[in-house]
Amino acid sequence: MPTAARTPQPFMTGPIVVAGIQDAFRKLYPRVQVRNPVMFVVYVGSILTTAVGIAAVTGFGDDAGHPGFVLAIAAWLWLTVLFANFAEGVAEGRGKAQAAALRSTRRQVVAKRLRAPDRAGGYEKVGAETLRIDDLVLVEARDTIPADGEAVDGVASVDESAVTGESAPVLREAGGDFTSVTGGTRVLSDWLVVRVTSNPGDSFIDRMIALVEGAKRGRTPNEIALSILLAMLTLVFLLATATLAPFSAFAVTAAGAGATVPIVVLVALLVCLIPTTIGGLLSAIGIAGMDRMVRANVIATSGRAIEAAGDVDVLLLDKTGTITLGDRQATTFHPAPGVTEQELADAAQLASLSDETPEGRSIVVLAKQKFQLRGRDLAGLPHTFYKFSAQSRMSGVDLEGRRLRKGAADAIRQFVESVGAAWPAAVTSTVHDIARQGATPLAVADGARVLGVVELRDIVKGGIRERFAELRQMGIKTVMVTGDNRLTAAAIAAEAGVDDFLAEATPEAKLKLIRQYQADGHLVAMCGDGTNDAPALAQADVAVAMNSGTQAAKEAGNMVDLDSNPTKLIEVVDVGKQMLVTRGALTTFSIANDVAKYFAIIPAAFAATYPALDALNLMRLASPQSAILSAVIFNALIIVVLVPLALKGVRTRAASAPILLRRNLLVYGLGGMVVPFVGIKLIDVVLNALRLA
């Protein structure tokens, strides 16, 4: 996304407020209002009181003597509807601003579509809008990538600032885990052959625009469940209020005093008792949750994924790049008995020539630094490279009768034993010693001969232990996933403070672990970037795919991290949990509000018939009309007051669910009862001071 969209911005800027006000009036259309049952009741009540007010002005109806009071009630009911629409409009406004910024990145692009799979077959220039899935296009230096796709040939430096906001170029190449390219980004150097993976209108940027605008947000299961609950509460209060009309007529007849409760008062009572506060803010909370995720540079496929993130109680975290700095470097050569250090370094360097991982490159560099061993030109010699893979966990080369291998100790041991050789006990001891220190041992062998061990070291990130402690307090279990052996994994796990770890992790082992946790009733989150991560990502409840990863990983996940930062998984969980806490807190506050409104309106409505009910007038409001109008005004204004909280979210704390629940009830439950008493009384004082009631 454009850099401007990434810069922290106030939640309500001038343009967003103006757009929110405009949307507030646009959303008055009945077809829009009916989507929210709670606010639709207020909407119908506004129409009804307006009609009664017009009749009172013309001298008709029971309220002919109080037209000003009736119209004031009608005006504030309309404002209640408009304030709810405004809250949703402001939330949507931020998304629309981001969508506009994304649209500005799209331009007419001419694509070089290849006539044949081979680059040498030439190309034809076509409009990017004509490209379809599986088309092959050539993208050269200074060209804009015309569509989403995967690099199938070549390597190039790509400027992705239009999507990620980061100005530093990234490397994209065929055949690895960094093959995915995004339409609208630009090649800075070299070239790529890209296989198109999306049709026009289905590109990554198109999906981003639809999501941030809210067009595909969709309501989450919890949001739907809460909407049903609010609708049922509204129905209960509607039936209860409806019964008050015949009860009032009966009471007047039986007591021989007072007057029947006017329909305007009944409408005011209904609107004040139904959960209008959360009803007006519910949609805004969901949209704001999506917005907070986008501002974190994470694109979720739906609000459902964000909500699931809030319920996650198991985090699967890769060691490298997440728990550690991710830059393991070869530091020491440990030769086996009878082997010189230089001999080990020479073999390790040859076995690492085909290993494009940072670890493999660091071995080549260390051999060069310690023994001036330069990179070899093997072009004139018969040789066969064996590239490193997650399955084999080793790399190597067959050269001049030698079978050089370098990799995880257990993998190399299997290789040595497969040719009928014994594994030296001294090497086992070296491996264990290195692993106990939290470093990574890589064994090196020349066929049946074990040459020694290369020590790699990584550094645990600062503050990560404290962060895991906070997650533990929140009831979230952290599991470190690594390809290292168990001893190394145990040492780093202890240093980082994770709850558990999975060592020597293969794609199959990750998938099995996720299924095991899910079978025990847990919700699991993980991140990944490679094709081999796709099965586990598809199985996880919350799956964050790296934008730099393969297309298979991005399709398997339900979120994409534009920054390609594995640590972002923790932030994703924070955003999801904040959305759930915010919704729960404001629901508690809204329902608690009814207590004060009950003590304001019920005495005002029935005190003339039953004078004893005046004892319930705890706030000592000036008059029945002032009491009713004050309650209606407070009911409208509190929505506006809570809009910033709904957009920013309630601050979450590192605590267990019972503690959070107690805090929620104390702050927003008790606060929800106290605040209306104070607010309604202040409004009553103001109204009477100004002689408006």
Active site residues: 318
Residue for token pair 């506060």: 277
Residue for token pair 């503050």: 463
Contact by Cβ (8 Å): 481, 317: yes
Largest separation between any pair of C-alpha atoms in the chain: 115
Round to whole Å and give the CA distance between 233 and 590.
12
Joined tokens for residue 662: 């107690």
Nearest alpha-carbon partner for 160 in 110, 112, 105 = 105
**Integer angstrom CA distances of residue 323 from 506, 507, 563, 567:** 18, 19, 17, 8
Write phi, then psi, for 121 (nearest 5 degrees): -75, -5
Q: Angle CA(53)–CA(54)–CA(58) in degrees, nearest 5?
A: 115
Amino acid present at 209: I
Round to whole Å and give the CA distance between 673 and 665.
11
Dihedral sign computed on CA atoms, order 586, 587, 590, 592: negative
Q: Which residues contact 146 (CB under 8 A, 6 or more apart)?
A: 109, 110, 111, 128, 131, 137, 139, 183
Beta pairing, strands 542-546 & 524-528: parallel
Residue 516, classed as helix, strand or coil, is: helix
Q: Which residues of 346-365 are buried (b: 16+ CB within 10 A; e: fewer)?
A: bbbbbbbbbbeeebbebbbe
Dihedral sign computed on CA atoms, order 293, 573, 559, 492: positive
Round to whole Å and give the CA distance between 628 and 678.
15
Round to whole Å and give the CA distance between 335 and 453.
6
What residues are paired with 333 via a beta bridge?
A: 454
On the 0-12 / 13-18 / 19+ scale of CB atoms within 10 A, 637 is middle
Q: Angle CA(464)–CA(469)–CA(502) in degrees, nearest 5?
A: 70
Amino acid present at 617: N
Write phi, then psi, for 388 (nearest 5 degrees): -65, 140
Joined tokens for residue 506: 């293969």
Provide the 10 A C-beta neighbour count for residue 54.
15
Q: Which residues contact 540 (CB under 8 A, 6 or more apart)?
A: 316, 514, 524, 525, 526
On the 0-12 / 13-18 / 19+ scale of CB atoms within 10 A, 126 is middle
